[in-house]
Amino acid sequence: MTPPERMRALLARPEFVVMPAVWDGLSARLAHAAGFKTAFLSGSCVAAARLGGPDLDLLSFAEMFNSLDMVRGAAPDLLVLADADHGYGNAVNVQRTVRAYGRAGAAAVLIEDKITPRALTSAGKPCMPRDEVRMKIRAAVEAAKDSGILVMARTDCRPTAGIDEAVARIEMYVEEGADILFLDSPKDEAEIRRAVAAAAGRPSFAVLSPGAPRETPTQKRAAELGLKIGTYPTGLLSPAIAGMKAGLAALAAGEAETAMALPPPELRATLGYDDYDSQARRFVIQA
């Protein structure tokens, strides 16, 4: 089965799907080793890792595509829902992006409706006119037929244009053939229920990391509300940053490592040194 076919099969199962957010080979390898079948290649996590900064539409197609390649290389069996932001241009750019992600083995791709580049502020996400968004999603769905990659259509317009407009966009995405729907920044459970209803039986995706001004139900409650997929952009990233800060503090204090560091044998096993040796042994020239 192809990655998109496997993703469809996974989403057809009754349980709620948890997607850790990953950004590189190591995070993908760890997610797969922990038993997760799928992960979200998160733009915010990639921005943090590559730029050392916030997710403010500064990443390029090439940087995200390279991150997808790293993730797929390190964990080829992991089903990746890859963030493609606004598609990196107009409807034709969207098609190029979707086709490239499909050829690279992504199981699904996210396309959103925000205007880029955004105004020179970190606040708010103004969105494109509805008709322009329709053409982008139509282009994405058409291009997805080449590989079968699933299209996740996201609207960021709820904070700036209201829930009625956001729901109307989700209904429009369904009309255009999007496979997964995503209402960003719902205010409360009532808005989540409206978005799920507008998805008309297709899977609904949600960001469930705490801290932002949005409703973030537990996994159990998210399933009760009808959501199908939950991702946690800070779930791995925040502890990773905390660990690096602890390591730096230990070095500054004259120590060799922090108390939370992995024992050397566990670190080597996690990075796959033994796996490498077993594979390489077949090619050793015998004396």
**Which pTM was predicted?**
0.95
Mean pLDDT of 72-83: 98
State residue 121's pLDDT score: 63
Q: What SS3 class is residue 68?
A: helix
Task: Label each residue of 191-241 as H, E or C.
Answer: HHHHHHHHCCCCCEEEECCCCCCCCCCCHHHHHHCCCCEEEEHHHHHHHHH
- Is pLDDT above 80 for 266? yes
Higher pLDDT, 55 or 36: 36
Helices within 3-155 (DSSP H only): 3-12, 25-33, 43-51, 61-74, 91-103, 130-144
The CATH architecture of the domain made up of 3-234 is: Alpha-Beta Barrel (3.20)
- Is pLDDT above 80 for 144? yes
Mean pLDDT of 209-231: 96
Residue ranges per structural domain of the chain = 3-234, 241-283
As a whole number, the mean pLDDT across the chain is: 96
State residue 21's pLDDT score: 98
Model confidence over 95-123: pLDDT tens digits? 999 999 999 999 999 999 999 877 766 66
Residue 258 buriedness (CB in 10 A; 0-12 / 13-18 / 19+): middle
Give the residue from 184, 185, 178, 114 showing the smallest Cα distance to 152. Answer: 178
